[in-house]
Structure 1
Amino acid sequence: MPELVVLTEQLLAPVPGGTGRYTRELASALAGTAPQGWTVTGVAAHHRDPEPARVSGLSDVRSLSLPRRALTLAWEYGVPLWPGGDTVHAPTPLAPAAPRKGKVLVVTVHDTVPFTHPETLTPRGAAWHQAVIRRAALRADAIVVPTDSVAAELAEHAPGPAQVHVVGHGVPDVLRTAPPEDVVERVVRELKLPSAYVLAVGTVEPRKGLDVLIAAMAGPEAPDLPLVTVGPMGWGGVDLRALAAQHGLPPGRLRALGQLTDAELSVVLHRATVLAAPSRAEGFGLPVLEAMAAGVPVVHSDAPALVEVAGGAGESAVRGDSADLARVLVSVIESPERAAAMVDRGRARAATFTWAHAAESVWRLHLGLHAARGG
């Protein structure tokens, strides 16, 4: 029985982030759409507790003999350690150095931030990602990217013989569907949610532009609403409360909720007045799609991938310009008709992105390459 192996190591990272959600959702959808006769298995490095790497629908989660750091180094230095399977999908650039003879390797590259905005990563992180992305472009059979924007930037910064395929993301049902009223009441009470607010979702790190958003919310033309943020702390020491104090945003107008469960996030998302996505750079921007699916108007930066994903359903502000961001937020918040039109466009746009569709596209890629290998 042929086997597709999905590397689920990102689910065991200290901060799985958006790539963790991608890994889980895509792996589950691949299992749910598997062609007859195929099995889908998760594989991760050796961990004391591999349970977080288990994904619904996968037949199993196998552990390799090496822990994460050793596995990363082994693949970095070209050790031919194959994780098993007839075809392998790496949902992040942490991937085997090259496919084993007769096998297939496909790698997802989420963005080109290490090349275009290296200052938003640690020097070591930028260098490592540049190296593994270049390696994938040279040695993998194919690369999956989430947007045309990333495909164009990849061709410029990491050209290679690997096929490049654009496959968008999706929205989990728990975020697309309005939560039950009893859940809403409980989450609102426990999180002390205000009745209306500007929402930002994402890992708290320099690339996300939360400093610009806080400056916008504290400025003289700011919308008269509190700011709610959702997301775990990433690297870079971004202190939201210190930024609020620096820009003069009163403590009562900032609610930093940290990391939430999907059920909690669904409530926070559906109750938001507007989602702000002020990122300096993105490869896709899942919160933009998830907010549109939930019926929330979106204001995003003019980062190319965010503009592409929003597809005209959101409103764009100039990256790094807090005054422009405040202006656009106010224009949406103070015009119910404009916001309602954005909601309609956003829902229609988000309906075209599903994890099932993403999985079907990825399957076609793997099956075509497998057949070309004589499988």
Structure 2
Amino acid sequence: MSLTTLRVVLDQVGDPVPSGIGRYALELTRALIETAPRGCDVAGIVASSPASEYARIDEQLPGLTELYKSALDRRQLAAAWQHGFTRLPGTGMVHAPSLFAPLYRHDRINSPGEQVVVTIHDASAFTHPDSLPSRAAAWTRAMARRAERYADAIVVPTHAVGDDLADVLDLGDRVRVIAGAVSPTLDPGPSVDSRAAALDLPERYVLAVGGIDGISGIPALVRAAAGGHAPEVPLLLVGVHDDELEALVRSLDLADGFEPDRVRALGVLDETDLAVAYTRAAVVAVPALSAGSGLVALEAMSLGAPVVHSDAPALLEVCSDAGVVVARDGAEGYPERLAEAVRSVLDDAELAAALRVRGRVRARAFSWRDSAEKTWQLHADL
């Protein structure tokens, strides 16, 4: 009989196309189940969802001992937890892979088994609030302040995120750095050539992954690809749609003389196609002005793509010496510096080969098993 249950908030895990948070929660929970110490098990907490999503969770996480289903849907539960209205039945350990968590006053000193740990993936709601929808930014700040008051520990993916949060929240010694890892389902599979053909991937290209917002750095990269100093290979953008790219080109005043084949939007790709795009890329550019986990760089390195990245602290921390670094300071010259860095890899086969090797080695330093073991240790320490 199990003595201790860790209840994990399965935010967005059962969605047909899980968000980044959903994939993180899925992979971490799967690893927590696999690494559970003797006498411990893992249960799930989920907002009210369609039956198909419950079934998907059961299929993806067969080792869950129980799935607690709230009567409130995600929007209602987010509002209730923001204001401290809804608590969970019983007591015990709760781990939230995001700020979507039941945070309220509890007595951990006299009831050491009652504890709540939350995860904050980045500090953009504080440092770059305009990069998020206003409602999402406000909710994130509100929940972070509840975590400041009530969480027993706060997990962050990098020391850089911890440093950013320390500037705006009083978290004391409750911060624990536990990095994520690349999903094992990010795999190009055996049909790389046919999938590459279906995506119409050129022989050589630069790849970037992420939306167009205030911190992605994608606009600077598009400007780099459109300028006279641009490398003679196309830039492909995953996570950007054609209409968004057209609007960006207009907003950057690049429409006159812009060569449409110079930059292409690939839209949203499933994990297999994304893995193929990474694998075939001559360079993966990560121009983020601010970053949390550095996951795009980590994914690219794990699949052997040379990486060019900004000097955002989280990217320096994650990539170590496995990528070519581009300074962000001096925004006006940033596109040209990006173009020069990309060209340095495209024009130097030895450098590209060295980056591929160093990237694979660096990516192997991150694993979900390690993340799960550190998570169990954190709860044991509490």
CA distance in 2, matches of 1:73, 1:232: 30
Relative to 1, partners in 2 of residues 1:280 and 1:13: Cα closer, same or farther, differing over 3 Å?
farther
**Structure 1 residue 109: deviation in Å?**
0.6
2:162 to 151, 173, 193: 151
Q: Is the 8 A contact 2:234 2:262 kept in 1?
A: yes
Counterpart residue identity of residue 104, structure 1: Q
Counterpart residue identity of residue 210, structure 1: I
Counterpart secondary structure, 1:95 = coil
**Structure 1 unmatched ranges of 5 or more:** 370-375
CA distance in 2, matches of 1:170, 1:318: 25
Q: Does 1:247 align with 2:267?
A: no
Percent of matched pairs sharing the same residue: 42
Count matched residues. Answer: 363
Who is 1:121 aligned against?
132
TM value normalised by structure 1:
0.89
Relative to 1, partners in 2 of residues 1:231 and 1:255: Cα closer, same or farther, differing over 3 Å?
same
Mapping 1:165-180, distance limit 5 Å: 165-175=176-186, 179-180=189-190
**Structure 1 residue 123: deviation in Å?**
2.6
Render the CA deviation track for 1:196-248: whole Å, top value 9, x for unaligned.
Answer: 11111234444312111111111111111111222277xxx981133246425
CA distance in 2, matches of 1:119, 1:252: 30
Counterpart secondary structure, 2:304 = coil
Render the CA deviation track for 1:113-167: whole Å, top value 9, x for unaligned.
Answer: 1111112122332222112112112211101001111111111211135611001
Who is 2:35 aligned against?
33
TM value normalised by structure 2:
0.88
Counterpart residue identity of residue 129, structure 1: T
Q: Does 1:365 align with 2:365?
A: no
Who is 1:328 aligned against?
341
CA distance in 2, matches of 1:33, 1:85: 22
Q: Does 1:212 align with 2:216?
A: no
Mapping 1:1-375, distance limit 5 Å: 1=2, 2-11=4-13, 16-48=18-50, 49-51=52-54, 53-54=57-58, 55-59=60-64, 60-82=66-88, 86-98=92-104, 100-101=106-107, 102=111, 103-161=114-172, 163-175=174-186, 179-180=189-190, 183-231=191-239, 239-244=244-249, 246-248=253-255, 249-319=258-328, 320=331, 321-369=334-382
**Structure 1 residue 254: deviation in Å?**
2.9
Counterpart secondary structure, 1:40 = strand
Counterpart secondary structure, 1:19 = helix
Relative to 1, partners in 2 of residues 1:145 and 1:18: Cα closer, same or farther, differing over 3 Å?
same
- CA root-mean-square deviation: 2.3
Counterpart secondary structure, 1:229 = strand
- Bigger drift between 116-125 and 144-153 goes to 116-125
Q: Is the 8 A contact 1:9 1:53 kept in 2?
A: no
CA distance in 2, matches of 1:187, 1:145: 35
Who is 1:372 aligned against?
none
Q: Is the 8 A contact 1:134 1:159 kept in 2?
A: no
CA distance in 2, matches of 1:162, 1:15: 36
